[in-house]
Amino acid sequence: MKEVRTLSLKIPNEEECIQLLKDCKVPKDVITHSLKVCEVAEIIALKCNADLDLVKAGALLHDIGRSKTHNLMHAALGAEILTDHHLPQKIIDIVRKHTGAGFTNDEVLELNLPPADYMPSTLEEKIVCHADNLVAGTYFMTSKEKITKELSKGHDVTAKRIQAMHNELSSLCGIDLDTLMKK
């Protein structure tokens, strides 16, 4: 039987998150991406008074499922990995809901994902989801660049959701996030 290293039900710090990613054999480029997403998420979280520890842990762990697959299922698998490691439900939810700008129940069925809620609803879920949308590899892209990219793929609904999430978070921060990231 495989030994599973477990963390307590507290929110893990950066060092614990990185160690968990390494223990799960997450590729180095994915860890580097996660660090950049964390950097962007932290800037947003500080500006809109979100739970910083939760945002940082969620951002660092959001792609842990990429240790098993790089397809859309990585979010569900990541949530499963974190459940097996007994992490807090708030982090598990961030990981499961971080893809695109979320999925409705009908989309979950259509995409053949395990039944669950995949739509970001808390401030922290939205911050990590949007920060991930704004980071391609380790490159920061503006919301306009991301939306244009989604539209070019024919993902009109996702583009609309990303724009809505961007507008909501920008409003909560009191500054357009694209401008905030340039500071």
Digit-coded pLDDT (tens) for 51-105? 999 999 999 999 999 999 999 999 999 999 999 999 999 999 999 999 989 999 9
Q: Are 64 and 78 in contact (CB under 8 A)?
A: yes
pLDDT in the model for residue 37: 98
Average pLDDT estimate for 99-128: 96
Q: In the structure, what pLDDT confidence band is assigned to residue 9 with cuts at 50, 70 and 90? A: confident
129-181 pLDDT tens trace: 999 999 999 999 999 999 999 999 999 999 999 999 999 999 999 999 999 98
Residues of 68-100 as b/e, b for ≥16 C-beta within 10 angstroms? Answer: beeeebbbbbbbbbbeebebbeebbbbbbbbbb
Say how far apart CA 160 and CA 94 lie, in whole Å.
20
